Amino acid sequence: MSRMDGKVALITGAASGLGAASALRFAQEGAVLAGFDLNEAEGGDWATATALAKDSLFEAGDVRDADAIAAFVARVREHFGRIDVLVNSAGVGAGGYVHLLEPEEWDRVIDINLKGTFLFCRAVLPAMIEQKSGSIINLASVEGVEGMELTSAYNASKGGVVLLTKNMAIDYARQGIRVNCICPGFIDTPLLQDVFGNPEMKVIQDKVKDAHMLGRLGKPVEIANAALFLACEESSFVTGHSLVVDGGFTAGHRFGIGKMLGFE
């Protein structure tokens, strides 16, 4: 039997990036899928995932729209009868110097990354409470556990996701619901390439890669594998945890001494 045989997994940000990679990984393990994304799903991992899955639903919508979320969750429950896993993957990156950051941009990032996570959890939790089981996986970031240059709004939003995760793990554990988050390092996704797409950013990208002790960016499937672990019974005693998957980015600092001694 596959690790997620017949389980219903609802994934936000499902059309691309980490959400689509998670959908594909779940489908490979027997899950049925419900996807929600601002953009229509066309091709890529989501299309492959739905081809593998026994059944799937998808809806284009905004994670800031509480009414649209409630309607979609109701549709998922009506179609599948239950929701076993929620993966909150939808997100945007932005920030800047606080004294130059427009309040509207701050609100956009917080509303999508943090409030959107809250709204989907709020909508899905009644189903999980009723069935007395469920796994919620929130995508945070290494930037939710430590600061980063010029990403103030993003840092704040992801730090909020980390603590929201811990709070829900406390509040819903006795209902059979586990709540965890993943804190990825820098992963090679369309969102990251939007940041590093400018040729002038090549030097910065190289420095970012070097800051990961494994010397490279992460792959979407490596985050999807972590999501799969948290979604299935292998992690049945794990809740309230922030799983850092970052190639050693937050392990500490390297100053080149090993290279100087000829070890690298």
Which CATH number is 65's domain given?
3.40.50.720
* Residue 16 resides in a domain: yes
Which regions of 151-247 does DSSP assign to beta strands (E)?
A: 177-184, 242-245
pLDDT value at 22 more than 90: yes
The answer to whether residue 1 scores a pLDDT higher than 70 is no
Q: Which is more confident, 246 or 194?
A: 246
Catalytic residue among 72, 106, 118, 154: 154
172 domain residue, yes or no: yes
Q: β-strands 32-37, 134-139: how paired? A: unpaired
Residue 45 is assigned to a structural domain of this protein: yes
Within a domain: 207: no
Q: In the predicted model, is pLDDT for residue 257 greater than 90?
A: no
Q: Is the pLDDT of residue 194 over 80?
A: no
Q: Is 197 a residue whose pLDDT tops 80?
A: no
**Does a structural domain hold residue 194?**
no
Q: What is the pLDDT of residue 95?
A: 83
How many Å apart are CA 69 and CA 73, to the nearest integer? 6
Provide the pLDDT confidence category of residue 195 given band limits of 50, 70 and 90.
Answer: confident
- Asked whether residue 193 is domain-assigned, the answer is no
Give pLDDT, residue 177: 98
Domain limits at 159? 8-187+218-250
Q: Measured between alpha carbons, how far is 40 from 74 in angstroms, rounded to an integer?
A: 20
Please tell me the predicted confidence (pLDDT) of residue 139.
98
Q: Is residue 192 part of a domain?
A: no
CA 135 to chain centre: 13
Using N-to-C axis directions, what is the helix angle for 220-231 and 17-28, rounded to 10°?
Answer: 50
What's the pTM? 0.95
Average pLDDT, the chain: 94
Residue 154 falls in the annotated catalytic set: yes
d(CA 61, CA 50): 18
Q: Does 113 map to a domain?
A: yes
Chain CA centroid to CA 40, Å: 18
Nearest to 12 by CA among 109, 107, 191, 136: 136
Q: Is the pLDDT of residue 193 over 90?
A: no
Instruction: Look at the chain and report how many structural domains it folds into.
Output: 1
